Protein backbone atom coordinates (compact mmCIF):
# COMPACT_ATOMS: atom_id res chain seq x y z
CA UNK A 1 0.00 0.00 0.00
CA UNK A 2 1.31 3.46 -0.89
CA UNK A 3 2.17 6.03 1.79
CA UNK A 4 -0.67 8.38 0.86
CA UNK A 5 -3.20 5.54 1.08
CA UNK A 6 -1.85 4.57 4.50
CA UNK A 7 -2.22 8.17 5.67
CA UNK A 8 -5.81 8.28 4.39
CA UNK A 9 -6.64 5.05 6.24
CA UNK A 10 -5.06 6.25 9.47
CA UNK A 11 -6.01 9.96 9.60
CA UNK A 12 -8.88 10.29 7.13
CA UNK A 13 -8.82 12.66 4.20
CA UNK A 14 -10.06 15.92 5.69
CA UNK A 15 -7.43 16.60 8.34
CA UNK A 16 -4.49 17.07 5.97
CA UNK A 17 -3.69 18.06 2.40
CA UNK A 18 -1.45 16.45 -0.22
CA UNK A 19 0.37 17.88 -3.23
CA UNK A 20 2.93 16.51 -5.63
CA UNK A 21 5.27 18.03 -8.17
CA UNK A 22 5.09 15.62 -11.11
CA UNK A 23 8.39 16.79 -12.57
CA UNK A 24 10.53 16.38 -9.45
CA UNK A 25 8.27 13.76 -7.80
CA UNK A 26 8.41 15.73 -4.56
CA UNK A 27 5.47 14.85 -2.34
CA UNK A 28 4.23 17.22 0.32
CA UNK A 29 1.62 16.97 3.03
CA UNK A 30 0.34 19.74 5.27
CA UNK A 31 -0.90 18.58 8.66
CA UNK A 32 -2.40 20.29 11.71
CA UNK A 33 0.32 21.59 14.04
CA UNK A 34 -1.21 19.95 17.10
CA UNK A 35 -1.01 16.54 15.38
CA UNK A 36 2.36 16.80 13.63
CA UNK A 37 4.03 14.39 16.07
CA UNK A 38 1.35 11.75 15.44
CA UNK A 39 1.87 12.04 11.69
CA UNK A 40 5.67 11.87 12.02
CA UNK A 41 5.44 8.85 14.33
CA UNK A 42 3.10 7.06 11.91
CA UNK A 43 5.33 7.86 8.94
CA UNK A 44 8.35 6.46 10.75
CA UNK A 45 6.82 3.33 12.28
CA UNK A 46 4.22 2.34 9.67
CA UNK A 47 5.51 3.84 6.42
CA UNK A 48 9.26 3.29 6.75
CA UNK A 49 10.49 6.90 6.78
CA UNK A 50 13.58 6.10 8.81
CA UNK A 51 15.65 9.20 8.00
CA UNK A 52 14.89 12.74 9.11
CA UNK A 53 16.85 14.78 6.58
CA UNK A 54 16.06 18.27 7.84
CA UNK A 55 13.80 20.48 9.91
CA UNK A 56 13.46 24.08 8.86
CA UNK A 57 11.01 26.95 8.99
CA UNK A 58 9.57 29.49 6.57
CA UNK A 59 8.34 32.92 7.62
CA UNK A 60 5.37 33.91 5.43
CA UNK A 61 5.14 37.48 6.75
CA UNK A 62 4.00 39.74 3.86
CA UNK A 63 3.87 36.72 1.55
CA UNK A 64 1.08 37.19 -0.98
CA UNK A 65 -1.91 34.98 -0.14
CA UNK A 66 -0.39 33.51 3.02
CA UNK A 67 -2.89 32.72 5.77
CA UNK A 68 -0.32 31.64 8.37
CA UNK A 69 2.84 33.27 9.68
CA UNK A 70 5.20 30.27 9.91
CA UNK A 71 5.54 26.99 8.07
CA UNK A 72 7.48 24.33 9.96
CA UNK A 73 8.97 21.85 7.48
CA UNK A 74 10.16 18.27 8.07
CA UNK A 75 11.98 16.50 5.21
CA UNK A 76 11.77 12.70 5.49
CA UNK A 77 13.26 9.84 3.47
CA UNK A 78 12.60 6.10 3.35
CA UNK A 79 16.14 4.82 2.78
CA UNK A 80 14.98 1.42 1.51
CA UNK A 81 12.85 2.86 -1.32
CA UNK A 82 14.39 6.34 -1.62
CA UNK A 83 10.90 7.82 -1.25
CA UNK A 84 10.93 11.40 0.00
CA UNK A 85 8.17 13.26 1.76
CA UNK A 86 7.92 16.82 3.02
CA UNK A 87 5.68 17.30 6.05
CA UNK A 88 4.60 20.85 6.80
CA UNK A 89 2.54 22.36 9.57
CA UNK A 90 1.57 25.99 10.04
CA UNK A 91 1.97 28.07 13.18
CA UNK A 92 0.80 31.52 14.20
CA UNK A 93 1.70 33.78 17.07
CA UNK A 94 1.29 33.68 20.01
CA UNK A 95 1.27 29.84 20.03
CA UNK A 96 4.51 28.77 18.37
CA UNK A 97 4.77 25.39 20.08
CA UNK A 98 4.89 21.86 18.63
CA UNK A 99 5.92 18.54 20.13
CA UNK A 100 9.58 17.62 19.71
CA UNK A 101 10.56 14.93 17.20
CA UNK A 102 13.65 13.95 19.22
CA UNK A 103 11.94 10.80 20.62
CA UNK A 104 11.54 9.61 17.01
CA UNK A 105 14.88 10.73 15.54
CA UNK A 106 17.79 11.73 17.77
CA UNK A 107 19.08 13.84 14.89
CA UNK A 108 16.16 16.22 15.42
CA UNK A 109 17.94 17.54 18.51
CA UNK A 110 20.23 20.07 16.83
CA UNK A 111 17.80 20.83 13.99
CA UNK A 112 15.08 21.83 16.44
CA UNK A 113 17.54 23.94 18.41
CA UNK A 114 18.49 25.80 15.22
CA UNK A 115 14.83 26.50 14.34
CA UNK A 116 14.24 27.64 17.93
CA UNK A 117 17.30 29.92 17.80
CA UNK A 118 16.52 31.51 14.44
CA UNK A 119 12.69 31.65 14.47
CA UNK A 120 11.54 31.21 18.08
CA UNK A 121 9.55 28.00 17.47
CA UNK A 122 9.30 26.07 20.76
CA UNK A 123 9.61 22.27 20.69
CA UNK A 124 7.76 20.88 23.68
CA UNK A 125 9.57 17.98 25.34
CA UNK A 126 12.94 18.76 23.74
CA UNK A 127 15.74 17.47 26.01
CA UNK A 128 17.92 20.63 25.77
CA UNK A 129 16.10 23.50 24.04
CA UNK A 130 18.50 26.43 24.11
CA UNK A 131 20.27 28.60 21.58
CA UNK A 132 22.76 26.78 19.37
CA UNK A 133 24.12 29.47 17.04
CA UNK A 134 23.73 32.71 18.98
CA UNK A 135 24.75 33.72 22.50
CA UNK A 136 22.17 33.23 25.25
CA UNK A 137 21.96 37.02 25.75
CA UNK A 138 20.87 37.61 22.14
CA UNK A 139 17.36 39.05 21.97
CA UNK A 140 15.18 38.25 18.98
CA UNK A 141 15.11 35.77 16.14
CA UNK A 142 17.20 36.91 13.16
CA UNK A 143 15.58 34.81 10.40
CA UNK A 144 12.14 36.25 10.98
CA UNK A 145 11.14 38.67 8.25
CA UNK A 146 10.36 41.42 10.76
CA UNK A 147 13.93 41.38 12.10
CA UNK A 148 15.87 44.44 10.85
CA UNK A 149 18.37 43.70 8.08
CA UNK A 150 21.12 45.56 9.91
CA UNK A 151 20.20 44.06 13.26
CA UNK A 152 19.07 45.96 16.31
CA UNK A 153 22.48 47.26 17.33
CA UNK A 154 23.24 44.19 19.41
CA UNK A 155 26.78 43.69 18.12
CA UNK A 156 28.21 46.37 20.41
CA UNK A 157 26.90 44.43 23.45
CA UNK A 158 29.16 41.44 22.83
CA UNK A 159 32.85 41.17 23.54
CA UNK A 160 35.03 41.27 20.45
CA UNK A 161 37.05 38.09 20.22
CA UNK A 162 40.44 38.51 18.61
CA UNK A 163 42.40 35.76 16.92
CA UNK A 164 44.78 35.60 19.90
CA UNK A 165 41.92 34.97 22.35
CA UNK A 166 40.16 32.33 20.28
Q: What is the pLDDT of residue 17?
A: 86
The pLDDT tens digits for 84-121 are 999 999 999 999 999 999 999 999 999 999 999 999 99
Look up residue 90 and give its DSSP letter: E
pLDDT surpassing 90 at residue 162: no
The pLDDT tens digits for 57-67 are 999 999 999 99
pTM recorded for the entire structure: 0.88
Q: What is the pLDDT of residue 136?
A: 86
Cα Rg of the chain (Å, integer): 18
Domain annotation covers residue 90:
yes
Give the count of domains, the chain.
Answer: 1
> Domain limits at 22?
3-157
What is the dihedral sign for C-alpha 99, 114, 79, 4? positive
Domain annotation covers residue 166:
no
Contact present, 93 and 116 (Cβ < 8 Å):
no
The 3-state secondary structure of 132-159 reads CCCCCCCCCCCCCCCCCCCCCCHHHHCC
Q: What is the pLDDT of residue 158?
A: 63
Amino acid sequence: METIDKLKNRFGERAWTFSENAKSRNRRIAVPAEQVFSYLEFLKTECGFDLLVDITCVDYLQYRGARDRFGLVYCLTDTSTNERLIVRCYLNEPDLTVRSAVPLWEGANWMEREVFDMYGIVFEGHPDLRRILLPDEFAGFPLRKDYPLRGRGERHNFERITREKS
